[in-house]
Amino acid sequence: MSETPPATSTSPFEAQREIHELLSQETRHHILQAILGHPTHLLSLTELGYYIQKSESAILDQLDVLSNQELITAYIAEENEGKRDQPSKFYGLTERGIEVLDEFKYLRGVPVLRAVHDNTVKPERIQRHEGALRPELPDVVADALEFDEETVDIDELEDTTNQPVFADEATDEESGAFDELLSRTTESMHENQDEDESGG
């Protein structure tokens, strides 16, 4: 992976271009979206594979790239080690990752991605992984990812219905279900907003 840009660069403009290139690669882009949308912002490899619909080896390759650039790191839950079907390694953002994603406006999408994640159908194994004990994120990272769930931008959510959020290689059936999910989430949020306005 020698073609990957270093974490620092002598030219600010060149560094920005390289980071943009780094983030725009499809699988890496979806990894970051999955992390941003997850309630804990820490995902096991199994969870990433489910949401992104890529092989674990393909995901690991891109996790290595993001890790080499100090955008993400592996967080270890030692209490889970040796437990059956309980992941002990989770992938999440670093402080540098937060800085970069903030600069490129990724953090604005956290509420929308959370709404999609919460309404995604999850099989039992994914539910177990999501409910597994996790280590704590650094305060700087955790604080940057917090948001007020009452202030989700509905118009921004509608914009996401025209582009893939997680599954870039889903089957036709899965893609259809995902599109329907986005549509239902948008409609539900509109209904709730209308009820709040009429009630007020």
Over the stretch 10-30, which tens digit does the pLDDT of each residue have?
577 787 888 888 998 999 999
With contact defined as beta carbons under 8 Å apart, do 62 and 136 qualify? no
Residue identified by tokens 């949401």 is: 51
Question: Which residues are paired to 73 by β-bridges?
Answer: 92
Which of the four pLDDT bands, split at 50, 70 and 90, describes residue 9?
very low
- What average pLDDT does this structure show over 54-80? 95
Which of the four pLDDT bands, split at 50, 70 and 90, describes residue 187?
low
Q: Is the pLDDT of residue 96 over 90?
A: yes
Q: Which residue has the higher pLDDT, 85 or 54?
A: 54
Count the Cβ atoms, other than its own, within 10 Å of residue 114. Answer: 19
Residue identified by tokens 């990957």 is: 4
Beta-carbon-side half-sphere exposure of residue 65 (alpha carbons within 13 Å): 23
| CATH C-level class of 12-199 | mainly alpha
With contact defined as beta carbons under 8 Å apart, do 178 and 167 qualify? yes
Burial class (CB in 10 A: 0-12, 13-18, 19+), 100: buried
Which of the four pLDDT bands, split at 50, 70 and 90, describes residue 167?
very low
Count the Cβ atoms, other than its own, within 10 Å of residue 26. Answer: 13
- In this predicted model, what pLDDT tens digit does every residue of 111-140 receive, in sequence order? 999 999 998 999 999 999 999 999 999 999
Mean pLDDT of the chain: 79
Q: Is the pLDDT of residue 63 over 70?
A: yes
